[in-house]
Chains A and B, each alone.
Chain A
Amino acid sequence: MKRNTWIVRFALIALCSLVLAACNAPAAQNQPGVAGAEEAALMTYVPGGKLDEYYMFSSGGHSGQVFVYGIPSMRRIRTLNVFTTDPATGYGYSEETREMMQGFTWGDTHHPALSETGGEYDGRWLFINDNANSRIARINLQTFQTEQILGPIANLAGLHGGPFTTPNTEYVFGATRFSIPLPRDSFVPLEEYAEKYFAPVAGIKVDPQSGEMNVAWEVLLPPINLDLADAGKKDSDGWIFFSSYNAEMAYEKLEVNASQNDRDFIVALNWKAAEAAAAAGEGELSEGVQMLDPRKTPGIAYLIPVAKSPHGADVSPDGKYLVASGKLASQTTVYGFAEMQQAIAAADFEAEFWGLPVLNYNKVRIVEVPVGNGPLHTQFDDKGFAYTSLFVDSAVAKWRMSPPWDVVDTVPIQYNVGHIAAAEGDSISPDGRWLVSLNKFAKDRYLSVGPSKPESLQLIDISGDKMKVVYDAPVDLEPHYAQIIKADKLTVLDIYAKDETRPNSVWAPDQARIERDGKEVRVYMLAVRSHFTPEQIEVNQGDHVTIYVTNIEQTIDESHGLGHRRLRYQRADRPGRDQNGHVHRR
């Protein structure tokens, strides 16, 4: 009897283990690429009162925001509302910020771009695009305030590819992803897409002192869905490379029809030549902007074949190589800049596309590296290695940027990485210390907050031979790209200086006053702990009231806000700052 029981039990266990073993075999493995708890904790713990070594600026996608993180602690320090209002600071409520936002209520931020001097991040400004409304904003990194929103930029549609800065911030570039007929809002049947739709690129000049952006000129390009870009550096300074993913120039069922050719194109744009051509008066005005047509002005744009549907073209720190990955091709291609120049000099073209020369792929390609499935974006370190995000594999591959061009390590991430950002990764001297994986899905990694999950940032230690994931940080929807800068490069202002010359500001109680001119009422108000002067504003129904409030505090973070309980009036001032707002009730 007892023996029978044992047999039955044995049979049951055998059956169950057969079924379970088959289901769960790989799950039992130890996860590779993850640092031990103690090691990770020591690497990332920043004690209270101590500061992080790096700032990370991450885009916030449809939130229209920029997230500021500290690395290595991965603490989120601040959220900057760039393309959306921020009631907490009065951003988007004061007159000057309302004017800047032009009535837009949202933006889609993708690619933060730190200003550069000599190819190094200089910590002065952060530029960020609005993919939705073709705008670029400039954030002053002294105050972390948005100072300018340029756009909607003439002739552009869907400014995804931008802003990308040149090594001395001479320009930031913005490219059209969703090609359009020109002028914008004109109608051309879709059947004429290949001939009459365009993907212009804007060269936006940045004033070296004030940072003020102005559209200098634009270049007309074929409707091939320009995606991302990176400016040349050192050897390749003067060029910028845009990836694109619709060489088919398809306009319907894009998922399928824009993926039929084995190769798409990288557009190599000689921006210095374009600048010279614009200065020489070439091109025609389009929506008020000088538009260069590279078919009529040869020498400014070339096409380079690339494995299909690339996401990103990244220039190596020494400027000698260009790396592009075909996300649908499981292959990353390295191009030589010198080889490109030789091919151009020798007119070694394999074809012509849309009237533009296509460089001979076999001449400009150095090597194709099989890095893994769904490669997207590449970053670099200081030891001659490149790091490529693998969307399909949910992994990051580390590979040698020199013969034998081999993959030396792959680390799984959770889950579906888009961009990766290395410390000082887009500069001419990456630090090789940290890499952040910006993941599209967090799924099961954090306490659940309902169907709308956070996205995920993972900090990866890249200082050793093997990459190690050391920290997971949830992040609001949804970062695309980030840049990481050494914190000591920023000179951050703690308090706005007392500036008595600023119009409408009041710095002493005896200057505070109410002025009436018919139905126009102007209130010059002062705020200081713990009162406003004047304290009462008496108006008649129908008056139009403008309130200028000056926060005269000169102590860190003593902010004062003022709102009206029913009217849409709300603002909050940082110490030493003033803002104005209108109240009008008929």
Chain B
Amino acid sequence: MMDYLERLLFHGKLNRTARIILVLAGLAFFIAIALPLWQMTMISNQFPEGLRVRIYPYKLEGDLQEINILNHYVGMATLDAEFFPELQLLPLIFAGGGLLTLLTAGLGYRWLASEVLLGGGLASALSTTILIYRLYSYGHNLDPMAPIDIDPFMPPPLGVNQLANFHVTTFFHIGTAVFALGLIGIIAALWVSRPLAEQRPGDQASGSVPRVLMSR
């Protein structure tokens, strides 16, 4: 099994279908740059239309001024692009990933596709961690001089909570989905051009997998 996995990920080259998929995946990474990754929607009685913050790979957008004015009463930091310095790096990472994916489509090395996949996975994990960390500090570093004292809190990166009079909903947006599709594309590329399994004595234990593969 491990042996097969090694061949699947690192040995040989990708077929034509896989390369086409990789081109699409690479484009997905580029497209994701222009799309929102995450959104927070705050609805209250006096804001029935809601206040919104969207995080794009390169910018923060939404009702930032209003949210910042409201939040200054409870001493929360000003939410702006400076609050997320990562936003200067994220588009480069996305574009780099896109370029490497297109390069992989051109060169066709399986190992390169695997490395790009690994990098994309790491980038996703890192971004999510950063988001959680930023949200944590947003809810915890409260100005002690603020007019209204509130207890520090953790804004959930995904889900629903109540903050004073606001009903807050957060979720990962379309950009995250497109980015994820890119990663899935790489997996799909590796899969559609997977090597034929050779029966080896050592593979007996993992039985059914090769049989299914051979049936193609």
A contact residues vs B (CB 8 Å cutoff): 15, 18-19, 22-23, 25-27, 255-256, 259-260, 309, 328, 373, 392-395, 412-416, 441, 443-444
Write out the residue numbers on chain B whose beta carbons fall within 8 Å of the beta carbon of A256.
Answer: 145-147
**B45 and A395 contact, CB distance less than 8 A:** yes
Interface centre among A25, A26, A393, A415 (most CB of B within 10 A): A26
Residue B46 CB within 8 A of the other chain: yes
Contact (A328, B46) CB under 8 Å given A19-B173, A373-B165, A392-B164: no
Cβ of B123 within 8 Å of any chain A Cβ, yes or no, is no
Q: A25-B160, A373-B165 are in contact. List 18 more A-B contacts (CB 8 A).
A: A19-B171, A19-B174, A23-B39, A23-B41, A26-B167, A27-B43, A256-B145, A260-B145, A309-B147, A373-B164, A392-B164, A393-B45, A394-B45, A394-B46, A394-B165, A415-B46, A416-B46, A444-B48
Q: Given the complex, which residues of B lie within 8 Å of A328, measured CB to CB?
A: 147-148
- Determine chain A's interface SS by DSSP, over half rule: loop
Known contacts A15-B177, A19-B173, A373-B164; is-contact A27 B147 (Cβ 8 Å): no
A26 touches B43 (CB 8 A): yes
B44 within 8 A of A: yes
- Chain A residue, CB-CB nearest to B150: A330
Closest CB of chain B to A212's CB: distance in Å?
Answer: 42
- Docked CA distance A260–B149 (Å): 9
B169–A23 CB distance below 8 A: yes
Instruction: Assess A22 versus B45: contact at CB under 8 Å? Given A260-B145, A309-B147, A328-B148.
Output: no
* Number of A-B residue pairs with CB-CB distance less than 8 Å in the complex they form: 57
Do residues B165 and A27 form an inter-chain contact, with CB atoms below 8 A? no
Q: Does B210 contact A (CB under 8 A)?
A: no
Q: With A and B bound together, what is the CA distance between A324 and B193 in angstroms?
A: 74
From the candidates A259, A393, A441, name the one contacting B147 in the complex (CB within 8 A).
Answer: A259
Chain A residues with CB under 8 A of B167 = 25-26
Q: Which of B45, B146, B169, B173 sits near A414, CB closer than 8 Å?
A: B45
Q: List 8 A-B contacts (CB under 8 A).
A: A15-B174, A19-B174, A22-B39, A27-B48, A260-B145, A328-B147, A394-B45, A414-B46
Residue pair B44, A255 in contact (C-beta under 8 Å): no
* Least CB separation from B75: chain A residue: A256
**B122 nearest CB across to chain A (Å):** 26
| Residue B50 CB within 8 A of the other chain | yes
B160 partner residues in chain A, CB cutoff 8 A:
25
Rounded to whole Å, the gap between the CB of B191 and the closest CB of chain A is 19
When C-beta atoms are compared, the residue in chain B nearest to A372 turns out to be B165
- For A413, list chain B residues within 8 Å (CB): 45
Q: How far is the CB of B209 from chain A (nearest CB, A)?
A: 27
Is the CB–CB distance between A22 and B169 below 8 Å?
Answer: yes
CA distance A260 to B146 in the complex (A): 8
Residues of B within 8 A of A444 (CB): 48-49
Q: Which residues of chain B come closer than 8 Å to A395, judged between CB atoms?
A: 45
Q: How far is the CA of A18 from the CA of B39 in the complex (A)?
A: 12
A549 to B196, CA, bound (A): 112
Set of chain A residues within 8 Å of B49, measured between Cβ atoms: 444
Given contacts A23-B169, A25-B169, contact A394 B44 (CB under 8 A): yes
- How long is the Cα–Cα vector from A416 to B44 in the complex, in angstroms? 11
Query: Closest CB of chain A to B144's CB: distance in Å?
Result: 9
Chain B contacts for A416, CB-based, 8 A: 46
B50-A23 in contact (CB<8A): yes
Annotate B159-189 by CB proximity to A: 1 below 8 A, 0 otherwise.
0100011010101011001000000000000
Nearest A residue to B49, CB-CB: A444
Smallest CB–CB gap between A133 and chain B, Å? Answer: 29
Closest residue of chain A to B144 (Cβ to Cβ) is: A260
Contacts of A25 in B (CB 8 A): 43, 160, 167, 169
Find chain B residues with CB under 8 A from A260 CB.
145
Q: Which residues from B are CB-within-8-Å of A19? A: 171, 173-174
CA distance A332 to B148 in the complex (A): 15
A416 to B48, CA, bound (A): 13
Min CB–CB distance B28 → chain A (angstroms): 15
Chain B residues with Cβ below 8 Å from A259 are 146-148
Inter-subunit contact B165/A393 (CB<8 Å) = yes
Task: List residues of chain A with CB within 8 A of the CB of B44.
Answer: 394
Residues of A within 8 A of B48 (CB): 27, 444
Nearest chain A CB to B125 CB, angstrom units:
22
* CB of A439 to closest CB in B, whole Å: 9
**Are A415's CB and B169's CB within 8 A?**
no
Other-chain residue from A15, A23, A441 in contact with B46 (beta carbon distance below 8 A): A441
Contacts of A394 in B (CB 8 A): 44-46, 165
A309 CA / B160 CA spacing, docked (Å): 31
The residue in chain A whose Cβ has the minimal distance to the Cβ of B74 is A328
Find the residue from B43, B45, B164, B167 having the highest chain A CB count within 10 A: B45
For the complex, give the distance between the alpha carbons of A328 and B73 in Å: 9
Q: Which residues of A contact B148 (CB under 8 A)?
A: 259, 328
Chain A residues near B50: list those with CB within 8 A.
Answer: 23, 27
Shortest Cβ gap from A84 to chain B (Å) = 30
B26-68 vs A, CB cutoff 8 Å, 1 = contact: the mask equals 0000000000000101011110111010000000000000000
Bound state CA distance, A22 and B52, in angstroms?
12
> Which residues of chain A come closer than 8 Å to B147, judged between CB atoms?
255-256, 259, 309, 328
Residue of A22, A309, A415, A443 near B41 (CB, 8 A) is A22
Residues of B contacting A23 in the complex (Cβ-Cβ under 8 angstroms): 39, 41, 50, 52, 169
Chain B residues whose CB sits within 8 angstroms of the CB of A415 once the complex forms: 45-46
Chain B: which residue is nearest A440 at the CB level?
B46
Top 10 A-B residue pairs of the complex, sorted by shortest distance between their CB atoms: A415-B46, A259-B147, A394-B45, A394-B46, A22-B171, A412-B45, A393-B165, A26-B167, A328-B148, A22-B169
